[in-house]
């Protein structure tokens, strides 16, 4: 299965020490150069920076179609644009992306996608975690992941867990 990831799923799962879920679910993931740079090219270290440089199950590839990236950049940031372009180039089965606008563009281009919350639901469904709620709470508190009350409750309902 070819899975391309944007920055957010890597950064947020690493922040709560569950980046391993991506490897357990998908075997390996591919990131574009811009995503690697968003994680490693900053002065203050961010969650996931070490892993994208050291874990062999996270591959970095360059996007060939820079014209598509340039066009996508009119709507979304560089990391999202490269992740979407790379997913198209590789005919990826799944794109990991959280940002609303990026998901809108991915949908318009016919890509199948999920975000960090979908990853948690899939991990529970596959028996990799016993509960979504503690990890969802950690995402909010430790990683600063923003979730509306309605989405929070919907995710817990989908996981078969009690909401707040």
Residue 85 near residue 32, CB atoms below 8 Å = yes
Tens of pLDDT, residues 97-148: 999 999 999 999 999 999 999 999 999 999 999 999 999 999 999 999 999 9
Nearest alpha carbon to residue 10 among 66, 62, 67, 50: 50
> Mean pLDDT of all residues in the chain?
95
Residue 31 near residue 59, CB atoms below 8 Å = yes
Indicate whether 3 pLDDT > 90: yes
Distance between CA atoms of 121 and 159, rounded to whole angstroms? 6
The answer to which of 21-25, 68-72, 158-162 has the lowest mean pLDDT is: 158-162
Residue 2 CB: number of other CB atoms within 10 A? 16
| Domain parsing of the chain, residue ranges | 3-116, 118-158
Q: What percent of the chain has pLDDT over 90?
A: 95
Task: Identify the architecture of domain 3-116 in CATH.
Answer: 3-Layer(aba) Sandwich (3.40)
Distance between CA atoms of 60 and 72, rounded to whole angstroms? 20
Cα–Cα distance list, 109 to 5, 74, 81, 158, 164 (Å): 16, 15, 12, 27, 36
Rg of the chain over Cα atoms, rounded to whole angstroms, equals 15
pLDDT attached to residue 44: 84
Distance between CA atoms of 111 and 159, rounded to whole angstroms? 24
Tens of pLDDT, residues 37-86: 999 988 888 999 999 999 999 999 999 999 999 999 999 999 999 999 99
Residue 117 near residue 126, CB atoms below 8 Å = no
Indicate whether 163 pLDDT > 90: no
């Amino acid at each position: 299965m070819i899975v391309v990831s944007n920055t957010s799923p890597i950064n947020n799962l690493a922040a709560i020490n569950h980046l391993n879920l991506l490897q357990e679910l998908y075997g390996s993931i591919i990131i574009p150069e811009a995503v690697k740079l968003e994680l490693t090219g900053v002065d203050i270290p961010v969650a996931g920076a070490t892993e994208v440089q050291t874990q062999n199950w996270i591959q970095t590839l360059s996007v060939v179609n820079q014209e598509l990236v340039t066009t996508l950049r009119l709507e979304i940031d560089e990391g999202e644009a490269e992740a979407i372009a790379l997913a198209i180039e590789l005919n990826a089965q799944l794109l990991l992306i959280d940002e609303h606008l990026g998901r809108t563009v991915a949908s318009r281009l016919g890509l199948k996608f999920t975000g960090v919350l979908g990853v948690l639901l899939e991990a529970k469904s596959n028996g990799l975690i016993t509960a979504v709620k503690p990890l969802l709470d950690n995402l909010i508190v430790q990683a600063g992941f923003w979730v509306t009350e309605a989405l929070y409750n919907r995710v817990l309902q989908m996981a078969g867990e009690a909401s707040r």
